[in-house]
Structures are given as structure tokens and as C-alpha cells.
Amino acid sequence: MLSLTLFIYLCKVKKILFILLFLLLSCRFLWAAKNDIFSNDSIAVDSTKVSYFYQNFDNQYLGKITEYDTTTLSASFYDPVNTEHEIYQTLSNPGLAHKKSGFHHNVMIGFNNRLPAFNNYIKTEDDIIYPIIYQPFTEIRYMMGGKKEQHLNLLFSREFLKNLFITINYNIDFAPAVYQYSKAQNTYFIGNLRWNTKNQRYGITGYYFHNKIDVQENGGIVDDNVFIDLIEEDKTVIAVNLQQANNLIKVSGFGLNQYFNILSPRAEKKDDSLTTKKRKIELGRINYSFGYQQNKYVYSDKNPLSSFYQSHDTVIDSVMTFDSIYFHTIKNFITWNTLGYKKFHNDIPFYLTLGIGHCYSHHAGYKDLITNEYFGSHDYSDFRVNAGIIINLFKSTRLTGNGELIIDGYHAGDFNIIGEWRQFLGTSNKNIGALVFDLNISRESADWFEESYYSNNFRWNNNFSPTTYLGLAGSYELSWLTLGLKHNTIDHYIYFNNDAKPAQHTGTINISSIFADFNFKLKHIELSSHLSLQKADNESVVHLPLFYGKLKFGWNITLVKNVSMMQPSITVHYFTNYYADAYMPALRTFYLQDEVKIGNFPYIDLFVTFKVKRANIFVGYTNLYSLTKDNRYFTTPHYPMRDARFVLGVRWRLYK
């Protein structure tokens, strides 16, 4: 009850938190940095260097640290569904639903509180970064396009007190409609902190996040030929399927993670000062984590009798659709691991972790329009155990493994096991690449959405068998190149069929792919690309493009040495013809369709980026292919992509 009260309070003060963010950014010059390099790192480093880790201190101590991307080539990737190495099915406007073009099976055991169709616009505890900085750091990303389209992201991090680091991240994506009734306005706010004692025996990370997605849903255009055959060139008057439908999505949460080393540090006097002496054998540390997450989804439509719904279930309320779902999840985990006071760089000789956890979820069911009461409420609870191991041998072999098993309660017996063998061809510091082999085995019961659903236009009750999944992958990796192959075998696969309802394949399906990733820089040339060839043995259940790829090529031109440069670049992405999944707004879900093939066209963007010290200013012209008037540029059936347009933006890093 206390946790719920605190969450409600935090939701009420989110505006105050945003004002605080503005004041921190505006007044940061009043704070004086003590040194360019703080005492949290004993070796000299570039004080402008920024890296980060996820989730908890254990990842920092293990060396699971990522360098912050400051490359000029990546500066113009402003849209969360326009990334360097992925191609997505999208709708006709930024901020709307999306789906990866490559096959992706996202394993999650227990109660599923994710929303895959809006995943890139929703930030939860797994997406929160904890920057490692040596002076106050601010980054501003801003882009504006036609019709008042704007994307803004502010990231601020600094050490406020000794060992107390606070990070604030605010984002807004505003995209007015080009086609009728497809406006999107998405925002998220993240605040987090990390602190540890001077002797590093105790540490804590904490976080709060709030996401709001408010989008109009038009169901796509009524007649694709009006667009394809240029019958109507004014996109704002092309008829769409829905004109009064909206999706409102809110996802919020807070939590903390604490660690405590069992043994106290050993002090050693050296050169008239006290330092911490590392033990050869540690008794490890205890971790406790708590997390709370609340989800609320509302789909509304003032025209429930629209022909768009006629092939689905009988409408219950013919005046107004107001499908409202609410649920919240509480997680508590206690783990022990072998870490102590020493920090590693992915080279820990031996690491072991063991833990137990409890997850509780309350599903508030569905809201009755007449009584405004929720019905169909359910409580879900499970106990689970987890374990992990890392072994580094001979400076050339690294074995890692993680496993989780639900031992009691909701979906008891479900499990997920992940393993990796990384073999360096040489040593981890000096090699000619690495061979990497990955394994993923899981058993997953159908989640609440696949089992039972009740709304104005869709209703079902299913009794599906658990799905078993085997994922195998192998690759050869260099710092600038990855070549690999993947194979997925799924038994009793659950998918959304042509009627937009969940169905289960009773046999086994296999999906195989080969891929190549390039991140290449040589003198004036920069190149980033992802190429993939994929095939499913049952194309009645899984629809995939045979080939898809994305390439960005840039050429660096020095303007003033060590001060400014210019980078013209071109981005091309392409996928072969296939029956891409359709999208159902009322369910926020993609589903199979066998009527329309899309693909086999190049999507081309041109950019010129000017780098002036730490600022990257870019101007771009997107979807150059649309100028040919070959109007086949769909990534989702009935949702044409945006026409050619100019965009302007900046990515600017500030210090102190």
C-alpha cells in the first residue's frame, strides 16, 4: 500500500520534476566542478569521456559498460524507429506503432507487461542508463520537420554530492498528421540516481519513469490505388478507415537496487595514506531489488459501427468504444554473487550469482461503459529462482550463462536459459577477432493477452499449450565487422492470425538467417550497415522479407582542423516483396494478412552534417525515392510512408 501511495504521489509531481530539470540545465554554471577527474576513478582519463551501464552496480563492476555514441554518422538518427542497424514496419507518421522487419522472438516468462508495438517509444527500468562521468554532462538532441513536427531529447547528469550521481532524461516526439487523423504526441521522463559509500561497501541505484503515448489511429487509407495510381496527390484528403479513434498509453514505475559487500574492505597504509587492499577471496555481496510498474491502455472510437470492424466480433456498444485496461506489477528479488570491491573489464576469472524472487501482478480487467467499473480482475503471483555464471580461461575463452525458473504460482514450470561461448583468436586484448556461439532455450506459457480478452470489437478465451523455444547463433566478430548466422526452432508458436486474434501452430516452425554488420571508418570514409537474409519453413504462420538491409555512407571533409568538419551522407534501406503484417489499432497488435505484398523499393535519405567542436548540426532530405512518383513505398499494408521532406536538427554535448 505504501508503494502504491508513493507512486501516485510521484505521478502528481511529474510537472514539478520537469521544472526542476529546466532549472538544473539553466543554472548549472553556478555549480563549480571540483576537478576534471573525480576520485571515483584512480587513473587519468579524458574528462569529457562518457560511458554508461544498465540496471545496477554489478554491471559496472563486471565491466558491462558501453561507450556513449558521439560519432557524426549517427547524429542524424533522431527517430527511435530509424536506427543504424534495424528496419521497422511503421505507419504513416513517427510516433505510431512499429514492428521489426527481421524475425525477433522476445522471451519473457511470467506476467507480460510489455507492449511490443510501441516498444521503442516506451522506456522502463531495463532501458535506464547510469552514466559514468567525470564532470557535469548535458546533451541536447533536437529535430524539426514540416508541419511543425518536432523531436526533443534532453539528457543531464552530474555528481551533486560525493559519489551521488543524478541523471535526468526528458523526451518528446510531436508529429502532426500528414494523412488524416494520424497525429502522435509521445513523451517520457526518467530520473535516476546512484550512490555508494566512500569505501564502496554499500551502494544503491534508484529510478522513476513515466511514459505517455497519445496517438490518433486512422486504420490506414481506404483504397491503396488512390495513392499508388496518383489519383489524388494531396495526402490530406485521401480517405482513411477511421477518423475518431485514439490510443492512449501510460506506463510508469519506480524502483531501487541495493548491494552490500559481506566483508568490510581491508585498509592498507601506503605512502602515508590509506588505500583499500583487495582480498584474494571474497565472500561476495548481497543484492536487493524492488520494482513497481503500472500500465494503462485506453482505445476509444466514437464510431464503433465503422466498416473497418465489420469482419470482427459483434459490437457490444454501438455508440462509443472505450476499451480500458489497467494493471500493475510489483517485483522483489534477493541475490548473492561473488563480486567484492574489485572492478573488472569483462575479464573476471570466475563469477557466480544465485537468487530468488517474487512477482505480483494485478490485472484490473476491462471497464464497463455504463457503470464505469472494472470487471474480470485477476491477481497473478509467482516465485522464481535464478542463477548466472561467468568463466574466463587463459585470457582467450569466456563462458557466460544465465537461467531463470518459475517454481510456483502463475506459469509455474516456465524457464529461460541463455548461454554464450566467446573464443578469442588470440587473447582478449590482442586478437584477430572472436568466434561467438549463443544458445537460448525457453518454455513460455501464453500470456494474459493471448489467453483471454474482452472488448467492444474483439473477444476470445483460449487454452494454449506452452511454447518451447530454441535459439542458436554463431558469429565471427571484429571491432568493425560481424558475420553470423541464426537458427530458431519454436514448438507451439503463438501468433495473431488473419482475423487479428491469437492462434497457435500445433507443430514446429524453423526460422534461419545469415547477417552481416559493418561499422567502418578509414580516413575520410565512414560506413555503417546491416544486411540480413532470412527464411521460415512455414510461411503460412510467419511472414518475413527474404532480404532486408540498411546502409549509411558518409564522407568527412575537414573545414577547420580540430574545430569543424562537414559530412555529406546517404542512407539506403531496402527489403524484398512479402506479405507484411497488417496492424489492428483496437488491439495495438500486428497480425497476418495474405492480400497485399509490399517492398522491393529503395528508401533513400540524404544528409549533410556540420560538426563544430561538440555540436553536430544536420540538414536532411528524406525518402528521395518518392520523387520518382512510383508510389509503392509502404512498410505496412495501407500505410504509405511519408513523402520527400526537409528536416533540420542538432545534437549538442555540453560540459560543466
The single residue listed with the C-alpha cell 480517405 is 239
Tell me how far apart the alpha carbons of residues 267 and 265 are, in angstroms, rounded to a whole number: 6
Whole-number CA gyration radius for the chain: 26
Report the C-alpha gap between 546 and 530 in whole angstroms: 14
Torsion angles phi and psi, residue 559, rounded to 5: -100, -55
C-alpha cell of residue 142:
533536437
pLDDT of residue 16: 40
Cβ neighbours of residue 479 closer than 8 Å, sequence gap 6 or more: none
Spacing of C-alpha 422 from chain mean position: 25
Q: Distance from CA of residue 457 to its chain's centroid?
A: 30
Locate cell 576469472: which residue? 349
Beta-bridge partners for 384:
357, 406
SS3 (DSSP) at 363: strand
Q: Are 360 and 383 in contact (CB under 8 A)?
A: no
DSSP readout, 444-470?
E---HHHHEEE-SS-EEE--PPPEEEE
Contact 637, 90 (CB under 8 A): no
Q: How many domains does the chain have?
A: 1
Q: DSSP letters of 149-162?
A: -EEEEEEEEEEEET
Domain extent, residue 527, equals 2-655
Write down the pTM of the prediction. 0.89
Query: Under the phi-then-psi rule, with left for phi > 0, alpha for psi from -120 to 50, and beta for the rest, what region is 411?
Result: left
Nearest Cα to 65, choosing from 118, 7, 133?
Answer: 133
CB 593, CB 637: distance < 8 Å: yes
Could you give phi then psi for residue 446, rounded to 5 degrees?
A: -60, 140
**Which DSSP symbol is given to 178?**
S
Nearest CA among 411, 497, 492 for reference residue 447: 411
- Which of 483, 634, 476, 519 has the alpha carbon at shortest distance from 84? 519
pLDDT value at residue 205: 96
- Torsion of Cα atoms, 389 then 393 then 397 then 399, to 10°: -10
Q: Give mean pLDDT in consecutive 10-residue pieces for the chain, a chain of 656 residues.
A: 40 42 40 36 62 92 91 88 88 93 89 92 94 93 89 95 95 92 95 95 96 96 93 90 96 96 78 59 91 95 93 90 92 96 91 96 74 75 96 94 96 96 94 96 94 91 95 95 96 95 95 94 91 94 96 93 92 95 96 94 94 93 92 93 92 88
pLDDT of residue 28: 41
Angstrom distance (rounded) from CA 114 to CA 460? 20
Write down the pLDDT at residue 574: 95
Angle at 556 between CA 553 and CA 558, to 5 degrees: 170
Structure-block grid coordinates of residue 599: 517492398
Contacts of 314 (CB under 8 A, 6+ apart): none
Q: Using the structure block, give the residue that is written with the C-alpha cell 520534476.
A: 17
From the number of C-beta atoms within 10 Å of its C-beta (0-12, 13-18, 19+), residue 441 rates as middle
* Distance, first Cα to last Cα, the chain: 41
* Triad 217, 218, 219: Cα angle to 5°: 100
HEC string of 199-230 equals CCCEEEEEEEEEEEEEEEECCCECCHHHHHCC
Q: Looking at residue 602, which CATH number applies to its domain?
A: 2.40.170.20
